[in-house]
């Protein structure tokens, strides 16, 4: 067995490894956002989305079957999971058990290096790693597409973290029967031209978000008059984004990503009541990004369900961008942090996990 099996080569565990597996996955940042579900149970999105998987903040998740145990035991960052976090993991394991025809409970141990719940997509790396470790642990033989579909059920954005580099998550056929819609909604890699991108991550608040993305999405779709226009324009953004990526045109990629993200936040601001994730520190960083552009440095911002800003730029400019953003963050918040990320790998199993 290769030491570093990519997700595209996921097979049933080797003899002696059944019942245990450890997987690593990285978060991804959407350049074309997923916002809004058309089916909450199946986690079917209203729009296609496209992201870059990062090379920082991995989540490592170990799953061990415990056939005698009366219930699942879940540990997140060394602490027993409870409440909604526990419910989501157990519901996900139920899905895997149903497919594997198993009733065995599991012991799950997950170490997250991304600040949980801060709009830095900890759920993406978390559920991508859990999908891979649990499916391998329960002996399911999934290819990367099937793994992406499964990860989607834990958290929509996790479907994209199955893949490294850039990935598009297809919403899947609308108005189709459940099984067909489910089959069609998965991520796949996106071809990219000569692009050497970096994402400068400005953490202006590492605390948990005030409104969960699930709640915020529902409220936006149900009440925001700006939601439908954004969803329509997002489809055009995706088409343009794919062309810009293929052409290796970083300026175009950045412009499209920034307008798509600001548009998504506009839909939330128009929801009733408004959902506002952006803070004064977010706006300070946005001003800094504009300043960089005025100085001739191509830099573009994107924000998710939280106040933190990810700044897309050329890798060659990343140190300068990071330094400028760091200065702004230092003035805005005492305990902020800025780091540079590049494109990262897809989810993978760690070797020897079953021994």
Residues of this chain that bind ligand PMV (CB under 6 A):
30, 33-35, 49, 121, 123, 155-157, 213-214, 304-305
3-state secondary structure of 110: strand
Minimum Å gap between C-beta 350 and ligand PMV is: 24
Residue 169 and residue 50 in contact, taking contact as beta carbons nearer than 8 Å = yes
CA distance 76 to 108: 8
CA distance 239 to 295: 29
Q: Which is nearer to ligand PMV, 234 or 288 (CB)?
A: 234
Q: Which is nearer to ligand PMV, 257 or 329 (CB)?
A: 257
Minimum Å gap between C-beta 294 and ligand PMV is: 28
Residue 140 and residue 13 in contact, taking contact as beta carbons nearer than 8 Å = no
What is the CB neighbour count within 10 angstroms for residue 274?
Answer: 12
Minimum Å gap between C-beta 218 and ligand PMV is: 11
CA distance 221 to 260: 16
List the structure tokens of 279: 């803070």
Minimum Å gap between C-beta 64 and ligand PMV is: 26
Q: Which is nearer to ligand PMV, 155 or 288 (CB)?
A: 155
Please report the beta strands in 145-218, taking only residues with DSSP state E, as ranges in sequence order: 166-169, 187-189, 197-203
Minimum Å gap between C-beta 217 and ligand PMV is: 7
Q: Which is nearer to ligand PMV, 119 or 137 (CB)?
A: 119
Torsion of CA 267, 269, 270, 272, to 10 degrees: 120
Positive or negative: CA dihedral 284, 285, 289, 295: positive
State yes or no: cis peptide before 273, omega within 30 of 0.
yes
Q: Which is nearer to ligand PMV, 34 or 300 (CB)?
A: 34
Q: Which is nearer to ligand PMV, 34 or 166 (CB)?
A: 34
3-state secondary structure of 178: helix
Q: Which is nearer to ligand PMV, 256 or 292 (CB)?
A: 256
State the pairing for strand pair 37-39/44-45: antiparallel
Q: Which is nearer to ligand PMV, 275 or 340 (CB)?
A: 275
CA distance 160 to 171: 12
Minimum Å gap between C-beta 229 and ligand PMV is: 18
Minimum Å gap between C-beta 321 and ligand PMV is: 22
Secondary structure of 140-177 in the HEC alphabet?
CCCCHHHHHHHHHHHCCCHHHHCCCCEEEECCCCCCCC
Minimum Å gap between C-beta 4 and ligand PMV is: 26
The alpha helices in 169-317, defined as continuous H runs, are 178-184, 213-223, 227-247, 250-269, 280-294
């Amino acid at each position: 067995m290769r030491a570093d099996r990519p997700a595209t080569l996921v097979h049933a565990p080797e003899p002696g490894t059944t019942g245990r597996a450890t997987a690593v996955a990285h978060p991804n940042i959407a350049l074309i956002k997923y916002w809004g579900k058309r089916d909450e149970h199946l986690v079917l999105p209203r729009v296609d989305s496209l992201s870059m998987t990062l090379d920082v903040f991995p989540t490592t998740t170990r799953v061990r079957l415990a056939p005698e145990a009366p219930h699942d035991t879940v540990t997140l960052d060394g602490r027993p999971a409870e409440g909604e976090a526990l419910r989501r993991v157990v519901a996900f394991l139920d899905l895997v058990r149903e497919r594997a025809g198993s009733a065995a409970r599991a012991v799950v141990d997950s170490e997250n290096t991304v600040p949980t719940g801060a709009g830095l997509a900890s759920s993406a790396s978390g559920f991508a790693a859990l999908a891979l470790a649990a499916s391998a642990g329960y002996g399911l033989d999934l290819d990367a597409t099937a793994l992406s579909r499964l990860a989607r059920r834990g958290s929509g954005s996790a479907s994209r973290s199955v893949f490294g580099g850039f990935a598009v998550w297809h919403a899947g056929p609308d108005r189709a029967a459940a099984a067909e819609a489910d089959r069609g909604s998965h991520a796949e890699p996106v071809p990219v031209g000569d692009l050497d991108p970096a994402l400068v991550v400005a953490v202006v608040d590492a605390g948990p978000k005030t409104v969960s993305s699930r709640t915020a999405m529902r409220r936006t779709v149900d009440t925001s008059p700006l939601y439908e226009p954004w969803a329509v324009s997002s489809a055009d953004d995706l088409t343009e984004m794919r062309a810009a990526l293929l052409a290796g045109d970083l300026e175009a990629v950045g412009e499209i990503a920034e307008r798509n993200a600001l548009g998504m936040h506009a839909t939330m601001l128009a929801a009733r009541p408004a959902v506002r994730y952006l803070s004064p520190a977010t706006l300070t960083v946005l001003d800094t990004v504009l300043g960089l552009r005025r100085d001739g440095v191509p830099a573009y911002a994107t924000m998710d369900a939280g106040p933190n800003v990810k700044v897309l730029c050329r890798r060659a400019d990343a140190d300068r961008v990071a330094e400028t953003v760091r200065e702004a963050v230092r003035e805005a918040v005492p305990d902020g942090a800025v780091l540079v990320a590049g494109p990262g790998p897809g989810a993978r199993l760690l070797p020897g996990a079953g021994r």
